Amino acid sequence: MYWTISVAVSAMAAYGITELLWLNLLLLPLILTSKKDIPNLIILLAVSSISYCYFLNYLSTHTPKQTEETIIRSMQWSDTVKIDGGKLKGFAKDSEGTPYYVTYTIESEEEKNRLLETPLSGRRISVQGTLELPEPPAHEFSFDMATYLRMNGATYLFRATEMTLHGKVIRPSTRLTERRTAVKTHIQNTFPASLQIEAEALLIGDRSGMDTELSSEYRTLGITHLFAISGLHVGLLTVMLRIVAKRMRLRIETTDTLLLFLLPCYALLAGGAPSVWRAVSVTMLLLLSASGKLKLKMDDALALSALGFIFLKPYVLFQPGFQLSYMAAFSLLYSARYLQKQQSVLIISASVTAITQLALAPILLVHFYELSLSSFLVNLVYVPLYSLVILPSNIVLLIVSLLSQTVAAPLFFIYEPFRNSIATVTSWLAGLPCQVWTAGKPSAVWLVWMIVSIACAFIVIERWNRKLIALIIVLIPALLFQVKPYLDPTTYISFLDVGQGDSIVIELGYRKGVYVIDAGGTVSIGPPTWKTPDNQFEVGRQIVVPYLKGKGIHTIDKLIISHAHDDHMEGADEVLQELRVKEVHAPVGSLTEKNMIPLLREAKRGNTRIATMQAGEGWKTAQTEFTYVSPFDEKYSHNDSSLVLLMKNEFGYLLFTGDLEMEGERKLINKYGQTELSPLILKVGHHGSKTSTTQDFLNFLQPEMAVISVGRRNRYGHPHDEVIERLFEQKVKLFSTAEHGTIILQMDGDVLKPSITR
């Protein structure tokens, strides 16, 4: 076990966090108090040093040098390859085993149809293109392509301009991948539509078919893990095979030998996720131990399994699946003494659920920023349900349907209504309020504190059985982490990098108010074509919501829609789906616009009040005043009807102009031309278009700082050179989301501290 911890620390240190090597010193008191001798300590330190050098060498040999020149590579597609609209993308390895994330733009619909008809997984390709480093994330809480590549052992994107398909590489793993594809095709052709997604997830580990709504329901209830193949599946299959072998009068030794061959095949067939390999490798080690060929304790088997994973694929340490799978297994393993003392099956089930939920909480917060509060109770019902009914039913249905679809038909007729009724109950449960604790992402210090408190709680329960004291120990850091934002006097104004669009988050000091101005969005041009991605990027769900959840924000006091253009409000309905919004403000006359329909529907579903606003209306929170200074009439005219918000606090003024253009600016000057607004920070109108931010407007405002929310390499040519020149001539300090990423202004009294993410 100590070796595994030391090797894991060395692997993470090799990826650039060298300071982590000092964590090995924390093992010293553990070794000395567990009566380990000095030679073992020396061996441990040697293992740490040697493994660190090994991982450094691994990285150097598996990381190519970037070049700006066009290069040609011979590669082999992995089973992650997929066609999404007009793009072919996925991981591929070159002849030296170095992985890349390859993207290829399909040139025609005919080529796409040919590719769809061609089995791509495991196929060799020749590609010509360039290596690129991934662009930085929109902010610290959004999807990070560089991290995703690292989790899969890659460093670079390979932008292929030309691609030639060759034959398949004939290997056992390739044949198993083909079998996996064949099983998936069989499920899609045989199983009723309502059962296909679950069958693919439970039987072959393919969760690509899960839609956003279903994923959200399972995440809310904390039962997403039931869709991942793990020890439960492997254990059940092992038991079933042993029973069948016994009925066939096979010797147990022969059965176990057969299992040692079949289990790795099943791991590959099931997609090779960390949870699958962990369960398979531990089961194989225990089978060897039971046969007398290998003397091994359960914790050593688990540790050896993890060691094998880390040495073969060091990058697996960064995968949430690996972290969650092994943490759950180790937490239950080291709680075995406590679990053995329990007499009731119900208490044992509740204890297992509580132990795993508690042990996994810090990891879940790091990756997902929130925890399901209903998870404990729901898992008490759903874990046995899946273990005893749903998983065995899917296995039986697959086997029977492979043998005879005629025999399988009545089984589907019985099982489908039963499973649909469970789905209905699941949706109802997920719709209940107050089920999720959105705590935010903990820093390293908070993370260590949480882990230590949980470990101390486990010790208190196991040694003294003081559950109340253990609960207090766990709750103290959790409660302090929850109230931390309410003790911070700083006001944060965050201009999110949502590409070509706007989204601004205002957090008042002591968390007295959270206001979101616009939610970004993707502008659709024309009806969908063959180039349209199957799963289109959702700015609201994938950029705005993660930022809010990462900051621990679960309630928005006001969601302000500056005007009804997609690049400002297309993501608003996604925000309403994921978070509680008390009130939505929109400009007068805008609610009849067609693209407002999804927002209005979600607002009605969530009982969110919608108010139309115009110049002169506003509100005050503590020492901060908010006033709408435009539009002036009820006739809606898009950009010039933008809700323009003036914010006043101890620092000065901030003006959020939406897409206000020349005519709207002129009206503002006529109305407020004699008003003193100093010092002022300006959110530049219409992404820096030359039809906005006129010289007269700048002369009136005299801003000290300006922020342009604009997409990198956008097709509109924003921001316009004339606008940039006018701002520079007035010596305005300028920030741009295209250049600087998400821009955060921190205001503590009259002190301003800007920070950028790029």
What's the CATH code of the domain at 501? 3.60.15.10
- Whether residue 68 is contained in a domain is answered as no
pLDDT tens, position by position, 140-194:
999 999 999 998 889 999 999 999 998 877 766 667 777 778 888 899 999 999 9
Residue 681 to residue 651: CA distance in whole angstroms? 10
- Whole-number Cα distances in Å, 449 to 372, 427, 473: 21, 35, 11
Secondary structure string (H, E, C) spanning 24-51: HHHHHHHHHHCCCCHHHHHHHHHHHHHH
- The Cα–Cα gap between 658 and 645 comes to 9
Summarize the confidence of residues 620-642 as an average pLDDT.
92
Kindly state whether residue 650 falls inside one of the protein's structural domains: yes
What is the pLDDT, as a whole number, of residue 34?
A: 53
The pLDDT of residue 253:
79
Handedness of CA 443, 446, 449, 451 (dihedral sign): negative
For 578-608, b/e burial (b = at least 16 CB within 10 A) is bbbbebbbbbbbbbebeebebbbebbeeeeb
What is the structure's pLDDT at 698?
Answer: 95
pLDDT by residue (tens digit) across 669-678?
A: 999 988 889 8
Count of other CB atoms within 10 angstroms of residue 297:
12
Task: Determine the structural domain holding residue 641 and report its residue range.
Answer: 488-525+537-756
Q: What is the pLDDT of residues 247-260, one digit of tens each?
A: 888 887 788 888 88
Within 8 A by CB and 6+ apart from 709, the residues are: 495, 496, 498, 501, 502, 503, 504, 683, 684, 687, 737
What is the tally of structural domains in the chain? Answer: 3
Rounded distance, CA 446 to CA 362, Å? 9
In the prediction, which pLDDT does 80 show? 83
Residues 240 and 325 in one domain: yes
Please, what is the average pLDDT of the chain?
87
Same domain, 492 and 398: no
Q: What's the mean pLDDT in 350-360? A: 88
Q: Which of 417, 433, 449 is the last residue of a domain?
A: 433
Specify if 630 maps to a domain: yes
How many other CB atoms are there within 10 angstroms of residue 348's CB atom? 14
Q: Which residues fall within 8 angstroms of residue 707, CB to CB, at 6 or more apart?
A: 495, 681, 682, 683, 684, 734, 735, 736, 737, 743
**Helix, strand, or coil here: 372?**
strand
Cα–Cα distance measured from residue 301 to residue 54, given in angstroms and rounded to the nearest whole number: 23
pLDDT digits (tens, 9 = 90+) for 381-426: 988 898 889 988 998 999 999 999 999 999 999 999 999 999 999 9
Give the per-residue pLDDT at 9.
75
Distance CA 425, CA 439 (A): 27
- Binned at pLDDT 50, 70 and 90, residue 215 comes out as confident
Residue 101 domain-assigned (yes or no): no
Q: Are residues 419 and 514 in the same domain?
A: no
Identify whether residues 184 and 57 lie together within a single domain.
Answer: no
413, 506: one domain: no
Q: Do 427 and 507 fall within a single domain?
A: no
Task: Give the total residue count for the chain.
Answer: 758
Between the ranges 279-288, 300-309, 329-338, 469-478, where is the mean pLDDT highest? 469-478
In a domain, 531, yes or no: no
DSSP H helical segments within 431-466, as ranges? 444-464
Q: Report yes or no: 708 and 756 within 8 Å, Cβ to Cβ.
A: no
* Most confidently modeled range among 174-178, 276-280, 707-711: 707-711
Cα separation, 744 vs 754, whole angstroms:
6
pLDDT at 434: 85
Tell whether 294 is covered by a domain: yes
Q: Is the same domain home to 713 and 576?
A: yes
Q: Alpha-carbon distance 314 to 307, whole Å?
A: 9
Instruction: Tell which of 62, 78, 108 closes a domain.
Output: 62
Determine the pLDDT at residue 306. Answer: 84
The partner residues of 9 in beta bridges, in order of sequence, read none
Shared domain for 574 and 674, answered yes or no, is yes
Taking residues 521-535, report their average pLDDT.
Answer: 82
In a domain, 90, yes or no: no
The larger pLDDT score, comparing residue 41 to residue 518, is at: 518
**Alpha-carbon span 9 to 19, nearest angstrom:** 10
Chain segment 532-581, per-residue pLDDT in tens: 888 788 999 999 999 999 999 999 999 999 999 999 999 999 999 999 99
**Tens digits of per-residue pLDDT, 1-52?**
666 777 777 787 788 767 666 666 666 555 555 555 566 666 667 777 788 7
Average pLDDT over residues 466-481: 93
CA distance 523 to 637: 19
The mean pLDDT of 621-630, rounded to a whole number, is 94
pTM: 0.91
Higher pLDDT, 325 or 108: 108
> Of 398, 433, 468, which marks where a domain is finished?
433
Residue with tokens 């079933």: 240
The C-alpha atoms of residue 308 and residue 264 are separated, in whole angstroms, by 14
Task: Answer yes or no: is 752 within a domain.
Answer: yes
Listed in order, strand segments (DSSP E) in 95-221 are 99-105, 123-132, 157-168
For 484-545, the three-class secondary structure string (H helix, E strand, C coil) is HHHHCCCEEEEECCCCCCCCEEEECHHHCCEEEECCCCCCCCCCCCCCCCCCCCCHHHHHHH
Tell me the β-bridge partners of 123. 168
Say if CB 437 and CB 370 are below 8 A apart. yes
Separation of alpha carbons 317 and 326, rounded Å: 10
Closest CA to 24 of 10, 38, 11: 10
Indicate the SS3 state at residue 334: coil
Q: Indicate whether 50 and 183 sit together in one domain.
A: no
Residues 504, 651 within the same domain: yes
Per-residue model confidence (pLDDT) at position 243: 78
